[in-house]
């Protein structure tokens, strides 16, 4: 199933159904990795394939939770960009809202552009998150959080 169409005769259109499917599965996967009834500052750390990843709850409101996901390893064979994910509890979806190289992820980009972002960058970020969450759920081992402040 393709999430985008890019030809000279057909402009790119967001495949909303496919994007929403990714959002919904990311919500379910991420909730399995976060503590129940998460509070601001709650942190979970996972080790998968000799790589360490950390999830930290940055914000909790009545309908949303904001989580930061980052990788903490000197061995960056499969580097995970530092990203912020917002979970919308009423809609039961999770979307990447910020990623290391972009301040705010837009639904689509004109191409070419100054940062050379792909037209479907939002879908790619969220699909990457989905693949990464699947990897952590299959291979991850929970461990003590890392204290970055010391």
- Expressed in percent and rounded to 5, the helix, strand and coil fractions of the chain are 25, 25, 50
Please check whether residue 88 lies inside any domain of the structure: yes
Confidence of residue 143 (pLDDT cuts 50, 70, 90): confident
Please check whether residue 35 lies inside any domain of the structure: yes
Please check whether residue 2 lies inside any domain of the structure: no
Tokens of 91: 């809609």
Please check whether residue 21 lies inside any domain of the structure: yes
Mean pLDDT of 89-115: 71
Domain span holding position 65: 16-141
Per-residue pLDDT tens for 103-128?
555 555 555 556 545 566 778 889 98
Please check whether residue 81 lies inside any domain of the structure: yes
Please check whether residue 6 lies inside any domain of the structure: no
* The pLDDT of residue 1 is above 60: no
Q: Is 40 exposed, middle or buried (0-12, 13-18, 19+ CB in 10 A)?
A: exposed
Q: Which residues pair with 51 in a beta bridge?
A: 48
Report the alpha-carbon distance of residue 25 to residue 57 in Å, rounded.
19
* The pLDDT of residue 10 is above 60: no
Please name the residues in contact with 55: beta carbons below 8 A apart, sequence gap of 6 or more.
30, 33, 34, 43, 44, 45, 46, 67, 68, 69
Question: The dihedral of CA 120, 99, 97, 69: what is its sign?
Answer: positive
Please check whether residue 150 lies inside any domain of the structure: no
Give the mean pLDDT of the chain: 79
Alpha helices in 37-149 (DSSP H): 121-139
Calculated CA dihedral for residues 89, 91, 92, 96, nearest 10 degrees: -90
Domain count across the chain: 1
* The pLDDT of residue 147 is above 70: no
Please check whether residue 131 lies inside any domain of the structure: yes
Mean pLDDT of 84-103: 87
């Amino acid at each position: 199933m393709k999430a985008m169409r890019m030809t000279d005769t057909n402009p790119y259109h967001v495949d909303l159904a496919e994007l929403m499917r990714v959002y919904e599965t990311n919500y379910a996967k991420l909730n399995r990795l976060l503590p129940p009834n998460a509070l601001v500052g709650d942190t979970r750390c996972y080790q998968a394939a000799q790589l360490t990843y950390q999830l930290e709850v940055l914000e909790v409101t009545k309908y949303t939770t904001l989580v930061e996901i980052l990788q903490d390893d000197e061995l960056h064979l499969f580097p995970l960009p530092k990203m912020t994910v917002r979970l919308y509890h009423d809609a039961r979806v999770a979307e990447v809202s910020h990623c290391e190289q972009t301040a705010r992820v837009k639904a689509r980009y004109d191409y070419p552009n100054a940062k050379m972002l792909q037209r479907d960058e939002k879908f790619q970020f969220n699909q990457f998150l989905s693949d990464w969450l699947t990897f952590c759920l299959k291979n991850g081992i929970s461990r003590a959080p890392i204290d970055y402040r010391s």
